[in-house]
């Protein structure tokens, strides 16, 4: 028995899907409108994860033009069959449901194959006796209410890249008036086919339920003790909330585990977004029991753990050094930062000043990384010979209308340190403090859901509220990010701002 710490993936790593190949485990997550899309992680013990790549890196693989931050890529599923990896996903902003393949999980991955007549979101693949099945979610034909959904399957011809035969509805939820039956996964164990899915929406009423059948096409019976996992009954003061959207994996020793998403809100706000948690699974009377004798997810949890090295560097830790190619933790909005007209020279990142128009979703020069802790420090040295209307610095970002910019801005030839917070239609400003020279240090410190900002070692603001920059207050499905930023109110030019190392200290 050893103690693990949940979450096993801190920060904005939602909708986990997992598979095992021999002694190694692979996991993927949703990325919505961030790019590159769908990070791939690898582990040999389920506790320590190392990022090895992204599924969607090339422009022809990922179209996010016009996507809002919480649109784009929803709920990928990763599976391995016949010496090939498969990831299936939904791009709600362009094309719908698609799958890609790779011989190696770290890539390169194929261009997407989009599927016709495949409505809904959160698809999965299931391989059984040489047949591939598409497992999907869709609204019922005569839906009685918003979120009245069903789970369906249909054979997928991988050679032709299309669905064949008839689709079959197999389950519409474990309760009367179930909302958002989604995130389906199929497994075959002993005599039964098991359908694992989410219900209740991805907020406080989220849950994991299961049904089983002797035939892949049903009929499926609901588990008598559904939901097999939820925190909806624990009250909003329990430190882990929104538990749901699970995926099962079997170890080489025959032990079973589940990964699932959850949040860790404080004062009703989960700025880190939906994170990934781990639980043990035992089988009793041919039904899964999650964390026996406990029945919930805990932050510190003892479990019979798997053998494997624990020397993997924790995901997301450490400063971001500007390299070519960029650190895998680097993200852009709607386009891979590797495709931006940026360059790296002598350890510095040169970002072009770009015209930013938020309302029509143009793309700024913004390269960011996930926020992994509420208690953090982030700082960067900026070098720029600013012209009128240009600005550069750091951004604490939730979405297009909820962010804090800490920048040096040139207005009519005068450089000023300025902090601008946007929360919906409300815009607040601090600073307008004159600074001199071309080199500036921007420093952010997050503590107790407040932000302190310094520019050139002078405090510009020391208590900016951050609580409303989260899904609970602003809507959406993501978590916060922090990144370097350069923009201009004028036409785009070839001029750039230069950034040194992005120093990051996440304190838990």
Location of structure tokens 């996964």: 185
Q: Which of 52, 95, 30, 47 is nearest to 311 (CA)?
A: 47
pTM: 0.95
Structural tokens at position 70: 């919480």
d(CA 473, CA 487) in angstroms, rounded, equals 27
Strand pairing report for 481-488 and 365-370? antiparallel
Distance set, CA 392 to CA 334, 372, 382 (Å): 20, 23, 8
Location of structure tokens 């240090």: 441
d(CA 4, CA 2) in angstroms, rounded, equals 7
User: Which residues are CB-neighbours of 431 under 8 A, at least 6 positions away?
Assistant: 416, 417, 418, 419, 455, 460, 461
DSSP string, 433-474: EE--SSEEEEEEEEETTEEEEEETTEEEEEEEE-TTSSHHHH
Distance set, CA 157 to CA 125, 130, 193, 400 (Å): 12, 11, 21, 40
Per-residue three-class SS string for 306-347? CCCCCCCCCCCCCCECCCCCCCCCCEEECCCHHHCCCEEECC
Q: Residue 316's pLDDT is what?
A: 56
Q: Residue 281's pLDDT is what?
A: 97
Q: Report the b/e string of 442-465 with b at 16+ CB within 10 A.
A: bbbbbeebebbbbbbeeebbeebe
7 preceded by cis ω (within 30°)?
A: yes
Strand pairing report for 481-488 and 354-355? parallel
Structural tokens at position 447: 């503590």
Q: Residue 490's pLDDT is what?
A: 77
Location of structure tokens 């219900």: 199
Location of structure tokens 């005599």: 191
Q: Residue 431's pLDDT is what?
A: 87
One digit per residue, pLDDT tens: the chain, 508 residues? 778 899 999 999 999 999 999 999 999 999 999 999 999 999 999 999 999 999 999 999 999 988 999 999 999 999 999 999 999 999 999 899 999 999 999 999 999 999 999 999 999 999 999 999 999 999 999 999 999 999 999 999 999 999 999 999 999 999 999 999 999 999 999 999 999 999 999 999 999 999 999 999 999 999 999 999 999 999 999 999 999 999 999 999 999 999 999 999 999 999 999 999 999 999 999 999 999 999 999 999 887 766 665 555 555 568 999 999 999 999 999 888 887 778 899 999 999 987 655 445 556 789 999 999 999 999 999 999 999 999 999 999 999 999 999 999 999 999 999 999 999 999 999 988 899 999 999 999 999 999 999 999 999 999 999 999 999 999 999 999 999 999 988 766 678 999 999 999 999 7
Q: Residue 358's pLDDT is what?
A: 43
The residues carrying an active-site annotation are: 15, 182
């Amino acid at each position: 028995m050893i103690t693990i710490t949940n979450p096993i993936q801190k920060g904005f790593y939602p909708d986990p899907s997992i598979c095992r190949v021999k002694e190694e485990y692979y996991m993927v997550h949703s990325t919505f409108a961030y790019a590159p899309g769908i990070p791939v992680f690898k582990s040999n013990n389920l506790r320590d994860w190392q990022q090895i790549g992204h599924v969607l890196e090339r422009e022809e693989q990922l179209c996010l033009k016009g996507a809002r931050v919480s649109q784009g890529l929803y709920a990928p599923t990763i599976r391995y069959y016949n010496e090939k990896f498969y990831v299936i996903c939904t791009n709600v902003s362009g094309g719908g449901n698609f799958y890609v393949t790779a011989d190696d999980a770290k890539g390169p991955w194929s261009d997407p194959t989009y599927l016709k007549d495949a409505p809904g979101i959160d698809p999965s693949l299931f391989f059984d006796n040489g047949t591939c099945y598409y497992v999907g979610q869709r609204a019922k034909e005569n839906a009685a209410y918003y979120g009245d959904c069903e789970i369906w399957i249909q054979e997928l011809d991988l050679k032709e890249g299309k669905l064949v035969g008839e689709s079959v509805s197999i389950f519409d939820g474990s309760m009367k008036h179930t909302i958002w039956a989604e995130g389906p996964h199929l497994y075959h164990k002993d005599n039964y086919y098991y359908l694992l899915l989410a219900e209740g929406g991805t907020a406080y009423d989220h849950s994991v339920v299961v049904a089983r059948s002797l035939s892949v096409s049903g009929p499926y019976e609901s588990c008598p003790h559904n939901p097999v996992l939820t925190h909806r009954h624990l009250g909003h003061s329990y430190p882990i909330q929104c538990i749901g959207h699970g995926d099962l994996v079997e170890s080489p020793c025959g032990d079973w585990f589940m990964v699932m998403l959850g949040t860790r809100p404080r004062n009703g706000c989960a700025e880190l977004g939906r994170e990934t948690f781990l639980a043990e699974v035992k089988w009793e009377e041919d039904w899964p029991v999650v964390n026996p004798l406990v029945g919930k997810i805990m932050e510190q949890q003892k479990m019979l753990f798997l053998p494997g090295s624990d020397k993997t560097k924790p995901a997301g830790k450490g400063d971001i050094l500007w390299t070519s190619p960029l650190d895998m933790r680097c993200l852009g909005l709607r386009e891979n930062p590797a495709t931006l007209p940026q360059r790296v020279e002598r350890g510095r990142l040169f970002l072009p000043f770009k015209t930013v128009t938020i309302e029509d979703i143009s793309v700024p020069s913004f390269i960011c990384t996930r926020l992994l802790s509420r208690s953090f420090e982030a700082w960067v040295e900026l070098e720029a010979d600013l012209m009128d209307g240009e600005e550069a610095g750091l951004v604490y970002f939730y979405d297009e209308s909820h962010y804090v910019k800490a920048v040096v801005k040139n207005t009519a030839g005068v450089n000023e340190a300025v902090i601008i917070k946007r929360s919906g239609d409300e815009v607040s400003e601090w600073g307008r403090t004159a600074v001199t020279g071309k080199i500036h240090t921007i420093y952010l410190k997050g503590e107790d859901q407040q932000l302190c900002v310094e520019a050139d070692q002078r405090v510009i603001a020391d208590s900016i509220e951050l609580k409303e920059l989260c899904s609970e207050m602003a809507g959406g499905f993501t978590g916060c990010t922090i990144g370097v930023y350069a923009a201009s109110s004028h036409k785009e030019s070839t001029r750039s701002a230069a950034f040194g190392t992005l120093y990051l200290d996440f304190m838990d």
